[in-house]
Amino acid sequence: MHVILGCDHAGLNLCAFLEQRLKSSHSLEIYQPKAGERVDYPDYAHLVVQVLLDKKDARGILVCGSGIGMSIAANRFKGIRAALCSDAYMAKMARLHNDANVLCLGQNVVGFGVALDIVEVFLKTEFEGGRHSTRLEKIEGLKC
């Protein structure tokens, strides 16, 4: 699976950890600032989302300090369902019921081992469909 990984300055360490763990089993595309460079999380959320919208078979992972900002920024785009997850159960349900295509993580919220578990579940779980498809159609059809 192709994974688009992005982070701001507050997520660099977790992003680097995930890159090392995923590079042997997934093709990766990474968007991150240089070490020591302070950046704005929406810029990196937008980069990852734009690439993801062009690659429907890929999944995105966004990391910042809390994961909240990345989630809010990513969810501004039609066709993006970004889920902020702090455990593997949330990641499983985000995929099964919500067909989430972006996982958001907070480097200051979850330990690296827990983050890896979350990512592995997120990447291997498929959308259940059925009654959940109708619900997603309603979300995508909302006019704001």
Quick one: what percent of the chain has pLDDT higher than 70?
A: 98
Structure tokens at 13: 């360490």
Does pLDDT of 144 surpass 60? no
Match 């970004």 to its residue by tokens.
Answer: 82
Domain ranges of the chain: 2-141
Which pLDDT band, with edges at 50, 70 and 90, does 142 fall under? low
Q: Which of 76, 62, 70, 72 is nearest to 32 (CA)?
A: 62
Q: How far apart are CA 137 and CA 127, in angstroms?
A: 14
Which pLDDT band, with edges at 50, 70 and 90, does 129 fall under? confident
Specify the amino acid at residue 96.
Answer: L
Q: Which of 98, 100, 99, 118 is nearest to 110 (CA)?
A: 118
Q: Which of 70, 94, 90 is nearest to 9 (CA)?
A: 70
Of residues 113 and 140, more confidence is placed in: 113
What is the predicted pLDDT for the residue at 31?
Answer: 98
Active-site positions?
Answer: 97
What is the predicted pLDDT for the residue at 73?
Answer: 98
What is the predicted pLDDT for the residue at 143?
Answer: 55
Long-range pairs of 132-137 with CB within 8 A, sequence gap ≥ 24: 132/96, 132/97, 132/98, 132/99, 135/97, 136/81, 136/98, 136/99
Match 């059809």 to its residue by tokens.
Answer: 141
Sheet holding 2-7, edge to edge: 27-31, 2-7, 59-64, 102-106, 82-84
CATH superfamily label, 2-141 = Sugar-phosphate isomerase, RpiB/LacA/LacB (3.40.1400.10)
What is the predicted pLDDT for the residue at 55?
Answer: 92
Mean pLDDT over each residue of the chain, to the nearest integer: 95
